[in-house]
Amino acid sequence: MEKIVVRGGAPLSGSVTVSGMKNAALPILYACVLVGSKCTIENVPDVRDVRMSLDILAEMGAEINRIADETYEIDCTNFNPGISCSEKVKKLRASYYLMGAELGRFGKAKVAFPGGCNFGTRPIDQHIKGFETLGATVTTDCEFITMTTESGTVADDVYFDTITVGGTINIILAAVMAKGNTIIENAAREPHIVDLANFLNSCGARISGAGTDVIKIRGVKSLHGSTYAIIPDMIEAGTYMAAAAATGGCVRIENVIPKHLEAITGKLEDVNVIVEELDDAVIVTGKGLITSTRIKTRPYPGFPTDMHPQMSALLTIAHGTSIITEGVYETRFRYTEELRKMGADIEVKGHTAVISGVDKLHGAKVQAVDLRAGVAMVIAGLVAEGETKIYDIHLIERGYDDIVGKLRALGANIEKVVEEE
Ligand code: EPZ
C-alpha cells in the first residue's frame, strides 16, 4: 500500500508547471467517439482517471497511440458501443460521457452507471431529461442506462433545472450530429465546457455560446479528425496557489489562464496573500499571516467547489474565524474529520463549515477521503509540525500528475512510500 509522507515547515519556492485540465481532457477523450477518424489530443494530463478512460475506449475498439508524454492519437473508426466494460465504467464519474457520445454517434447507448467521489447522491436526472428531449427512449435498471432512438437524436430546446457540468457536456455530445438546431438553456459555463466546444468545432461541429448559459448547437452530418491541445488545469493551479500561501512561500505557477483563476485569486488576496498575474503564469507570495474570510462555492465563474477542501486547509491556520458554505453538492465535508486529527478547529453545520484558526497543526495519520480532500491533507501536512502520513493516495492520483515530484521541486519535504500491508 502506498502513502504520502510529508514533514511540514518548509516555505515553498520556485516554479511549477500546471498540467492539462483533467475535467477538460476527460470529456474531450470521450468526444472522440463521435469522430469516425483519427484525432490527436495534446497536453493530456497523466492521471488515473485519464488512464482509466483510455483503457475503456481501447476496450471498446478505439485505436489509441501515445505519441508523446502528453499526446495521444485516438481513432474511434471501429468503436463498438455494444462492448460494455462496466467494471471500469463504475470506477469513475467521467465514463458517463459515453452516454452522450454513443447516443450522438450511434443513436443508441447502453452504459453502466458511473462512480466518482462520494458527495451525496449525485443524480443524473438532468442528463436523462436532456436525452429524452432529444428524442431518446431511456430505460434504467440498477446497473445500466439504456437509450434508443428511431433514427438518431432530433434537435430541440433543453432547459436544465439545475446547473450541471456533466449534463451540459452530455447534451452537447448527444446534439452535435442531431437533426436540426439544439439550444441548451441554464447551461454550465465552466472553461472545460468551452474547451470541449472548441475541440468539437475544430472537428466540424457548429457550437456557439459555450461559456455562457445559452449554448446553440447546429446539427452536422459528420465530424472529421483534428489536432487539439487541452487547456491548463485551473484546479491544479489553484491547489499550488493555496499551498504556496499556506507555507508562506513564493511560487511561480506556469501554464495557467489567469482569467480562469479569478475567483481563487480574489479569495487568496482577501486573506492577505499576494497574487501577481502574468500572461500565462501567476506568482503567489504568502506573507506568513493568513486572515479569515467567508466563501460560498458556486458554479463557474463562482468560487469552484473543487477548491473547497484546499481553502479549508489554508484557513485552519488563519487569524480569526472563517466560513465555507458548500453551494454545489449535498455534502463535501468528510475531509474535516481528517483535518481535525491534525488539530484543526472545524465545526460543520449543515452545508457550512465554521473554521476557527489555530496557531499550528500537528502531523498525524490521515486519509484521502476523496480527490480534493486528499490534496487538502497534503497542504495541511506542508504546514503542520512533524510528520503527516496520508493514506489512500490513489484518490489523489486520480487528478494530480506527479504531485509529489512537483512539490519536492518546490522544496517540500515530501515522499511517496510503499508501506508493507
Ligand atoms: C463535474 O462533476 C466534475 N467532475 C467535478 O469535479 C466538479 O466538482 C463538478 O463538475 C462541478 O464543477 C468531472 O468533470 C469528471 P455536476 P459533475 O453535474 O458533472 C447536481 C473533481 O474533483 N446534479 O455539475 O458530476 C449534482 O448532484 C470532481 O475533479 C443534479 O441534481 O457535476 C451536484 O449537486 C469532483 N442532477 C450538482 O448538480 C443532474 O442530473 C453539480 O453536479 C446532474 C447534477
pLDDT in tens, 172-208: 999 999 999 999 999 999 999 999 999 999 999 999 9
Residue 11, Cβ neighbours under 10 Å: how many?
19
Cβ neighbours for 51, distance < 8 A, ≥ 6 positions apart: none
Amino acid at the residue 167: G
- From the CA of 23, give the closest atom in ligand 1: 14
- Taking CA atoms, 390 is separated from 118, 275, 317, 373, 380, in Å, by 19, 29, 19, 11, 11
Catalytic residue among 39, 117, 203, 250: 117
Report whether 173 contacts 97 (CB < 8 A).
yes
Ligand 1 center to 411 CA (angstroms): 34
Host H or E run for residue 202: helix 191-202
Ligand 1 center to 409 CA (angstroms): 32
Amino acid at the residue 191: P
- From the CA of 169, give the closest atom in ligand 1: 19
* Phi, psi values for residue 188, rounded to 5°: -70, 150
- The per-residue pLDDT for 85 is 75
Residue with CA closest to ligand 1 atom 30:
123
- The per-residue pLDDT for 84 is 65
Distance between CA 295 and CA 87 in Å, rounded?
Answer: 37
- Taking CA atoms, 174 is separated from 4, 102, 107, 153, 370, in Å, by 41, 8, 9, 7, 30
Instruction: Output the ligand 1 site: residues, CB below 6 A.
Output: 23, 26, 93-94, 117, 122-127, 162, 164-167, 188, 305-306, 328-329, 371-372, 399
Report whether 390 contacts 368 (CB < 8 A).
yes
Distance between CA 329 and CA 206 in Å, rounded?
Answer: 32
Ligand 1 center to 386 CA (angstroms): 36
Residue with CA closest to ligand 1 atom 15:
94
Amino acid at the residue 113: F
What torsion do the CA atoms of 116, 355, 284, 26 make, to the nearest 10 degrees? 10
Ligand 1 center to 35 CA (angstroms): 25
Cβ neighbours for 405, distance < 8 A, ≥ 6 positions apart: none
Of 310, 308, 320, 309, which is closest to residue 358 (Cα–Cα)?
320
Q: 386 — alpha (psi -120 to 50), left (phi > 0) or beta?
A: left
- The per-residue pLDDT for 421 is 66
Which portions of the chain are predicted below pLDDT 70?
Answer: 83-84, 421
Distance between CA 395 and CA 178 in Å, rounded?
Answer: 37
Amino acid at the residue 415: E
Ligand 1 center to 312 CA (angstroms): 20
Distance between CA 200 and CA 206 in Å, rounded?
Answer: 8
Q: Which residue has the cell 480527490?
A: 371
- The per-residue pLDDT for 240 is 98
Q: Which residue has the cell 491547489?
A: 239
Burial of 69 (0-12, 13-18, 19+ CB in 10 A): exposed
pLDDT in tens, 166-175: 999 999 999 9
- The per-residue pLDDT for 419 is 81
Candidate from 164, 170, 325 with most ligand 1 atoms within 8 A of CB, to mutate = 164
Residue with CA closest to ligand 1 atom 21:
306
Q: Is 32 a catalytic residue?
A: no
Locate all alpha helices (DSSP H) within 18-163, ordered by sequence.
22-31, 48-59, 86-89, 97-106, 125-133
Per DSSP bridges, beta strands 321-325 and 352-356 are: antiparallel
Report whether 167 contacts 127 (CB < 8 A).
yes
Distance between CA 200 and CA 151 in Å, rounded?
Answer: 22
Residue with CA closest to ligand 1 atom 33:
329
Q: Which residue has the cell 486528499?
A: 374
Residue with CA closest to ligand 1 atom 4:
23
Distance between CA 241 and CA 358 in Å, rounded?
Answer: 21
- From the CA of 128, give the closest atom in ligand 1: 40
Cβ neighbours for 392, distance < 8 A, ≥ 6 positions apart: 367, 368, 369, 374
DSSP-derived 3-state class of residue 58: helix
Q: Note the residue count of the chain.
A: 421
The C-alpha cell that represents 383 in the structure block: 504546514
For the chain, how are helix, strand and coil distributed in percent, rounded to 5? 35, 30, 40
